[in-house]
Amino acid sequence: MYAYIYDSFTNEAKYGKLLYKIEKRLTDLSLNGKIIRLGISKNVKVAVDDEIRQGTRTIVAVGNDRTVAQIINAIAGNKSDEHHLVTLGIVPIVEKGNDIARTFGINSISSACEILLARRLQSFRLASINNGFFLFSAAMQAPETILEIDKNYLIHNQKPSAIQIKNIPTWPEDKLAEKKLKMVVRDEKGESLFFFQDLLIVNKNGLVVTDNALEIKTPARIKVGDEKIKIIVGKERTI
């Protein structure tokens, strides 16, 4: 069974005709399923938890990067054993803010429907941040940032600096023991590169932004993750 979770912004009237076309195309492809519209009375976590409990095995994010990131966190953070059986699909609604979909070769609404039908699956390993997860990146730009690397190396950036952390979600299984996350720190003096398994970021005012979508307050602990998520991808994916 498919469950389509519509982001709250799609409730705007201007998306009505577009959503109708999507639903008609999905029905023509025999991919119709339950539609869940997010809003004041229904949030992502509640929606995902309900669907996993009811036995849904394919959840489709209808929206943008933020929609996808929230649903990834809800699936990976679900406490039941069944969450490992869930597959994520993506239908991007707007051109801007859908970089995750494009990375997976999902470049339009029409291609998204065909990709769901083809059901080409790939498993991706997530990185963890506090009690949540991210797929590709975490970033912050702020002064007075303290970085504790692998609990034995401390950096205090007093001046404004840009911090970017990269996860490699397709890391080979036989290389997991060696796996580390990559961090680049840029300031007025230049660029420094670090590799780590455990990072603590402390900043009184800054926020860490994951996958260009979700804001996380610090202190934020970022680690190499154990959780995986299955995603329906297209042939033209870049990862």
pLDDT on residue 174: 58
Contact 239, 103 (CB under 8 A): yes
164 exposed, middle or buried (CB, 10 Å; 0-12, 13-18, 19+)? middle
What does the pLDDT average to over 230-234? 98
**pLDDT confidence of residue 177:** 54
Name the DSSP letter for residue 42: B
Q: How confident is the model at residue 176 (pLDDT cuts 50, 70, 90)?
A: low
What is the spatial distance between Cα 175 and Cα 6, in angstroms, rounded to a whole number?
37
pLDDT at 175 over 80: no
- Give the count of beta carbons closer than 10 Å to the beta carbon of residue 117: 14
Buried/exposed code over 205-227 (b: 16+ C-beta within 10 A; e: otherwise): ebbbbbbbbbebebebebebbeb
The predicted model gives 104-125 an average pLDDT of: 96
Between CA 228 and CA 138 the distance in angstroms is: 17
